[in-house]
Chains A and B, each alone.
Chain A
Amino acid sequence: MSHSYRAIGWNPQKRAYDVVAGVVAAASVALVAGGTWWRMPQVTIETALIRGFGVTALLLLHVILSIGPLCRLDRRFLPLLYNRRHLGVVMFLLSAAHGGFALVQFHGGGNVSPLVSVLTTSTGWLTIDRFPFQVPGVIALLILFVMAATSHDFWLRTLTAPVWKTLHMSVYAAYGCLVVHVSLGALQSEVPATTGLLVMAGAAWVATLHSWSAFAEAGTDRTATATTWTDVCHVDQIPEKRARIACLAGERVAVFKYDDQVSAISNVCQHQNGPLGEGKIVGGCVVCPWHGYEYRPETGASPPPFVEAVPTFRVRIVEGRVQVDPRPLPPGTRVAPARIER
């Protein structure tokens, strides 16, 4: 959390993350380009680099898309999530290099602008072998550019979290475009037939992970539509300074127990939608496990000078059972905690 603008908050973890990402990406480009040149010595170095950058970017996109569901399934993957945007920016740079080389190699040197050529070379929209596969590639590159350009927290704050999140969900549209780009492009030419199997395996891997995490999360969600007090659990089932997460009326609520009292706030952190209920109370504040944003459990508001706030919920204890009113109160609304009678 910061109340002053800093361009980049470098720390040893970020540096290590970036070094590893950069080294692995460079090695992958060299490996694929070298392998292409060895298998087909007649191709130019530019063609080998086009393959190297393209394959590495697509592999990296599969890693990026896997991180979210993996974190839902096993918290040990969370360190990969913290700087996932850095991988996204690296992937965009690799894609831009792929696109740039391809633009020059296959569409430069003619009497038509390369940018016009790349969009009009193929016109077989209803065919497979002459489908203009370049177009979905360009669309994907534009999406990745917008995502990379808005990856900094400055844009998250400026655009607000819901808008920013919606924008960055377009990574799935980019992935779909890239699968089409490869399937109807490179796969229709001289690449090995096993490439098709690899592309299919990659899509199946991403789809399976997302389905698996969806089923795992569905166990926590209930489709309760009650508008009255809803039983959550016994007060002893909530660990001290920790929370129990419940899904009430389609919204996740984190019920915290601390200092012989209970409070309920929204489970969704205002920063990047982290699960507040998986955090703990430190120094009187709920601390988000993802990036450390803090909220007072009684009000859902961040301590001054910070201004973030989450919705709060009325809570009561009846015969040792914690009950929550599922109707959220405006962010920052003070709600008296329910005292635990011993």
Chain B
Amino acid sequence: MIRPLRRTHRAVTALLWLLLPVVALAIAARGGW
């Protein structure tokens, strides 16, 4: 049970960080501030 959870946790953590450039792109597209 632990091994799959660890893999899932690592994948989820990596994907969470990928959200930051998405938001950055959206801010840039809006024209910044």
Contacts and interface: CB of A to CB of B under 8 A. Distances in A.
B2 A176 contact: no
Interface string A176-197: 1001100110011000010011
Interface band, chain B? 20 to 34
Contacts of A20: none
Contacts of B8: 169
A251 B20 contact: no
Contacts of B5: 165, 273
A204 B20 contact: yes
Interface string A189-225: 0000100110110011011001100100000010000
A93 interface: no
Secondary structure call for the A interface: helix
A251 B27 CA distance: 43
A159 interface: no
Contacts of A206: 16
> B1, B3, B26 — which one has the most chain A CB atoms within 10 A of its CB?
B26
Given A169-B8, A250-B3, A210 B20 contact: no
Secondary structure call for the B interface: helix
Contacts, number: 81
Contacts of A128: 25-26, 29
A268 interface: yes
B6 to A, nearest CB: 7
Contacts of A252: 2
A172 interface: yes
B13 A214 contact: yes
Contacts of A196: 23, 26-27, 30
Contacts of B6: 221, 250
List 6 tightest A-B contacts by C-beta distance, closest first: A183-B26, A207-B16, A128-B29, A196-B27, A210-B13, A203-B19
B32 to A, nearest CB: 7
B22 A180 contact: yes
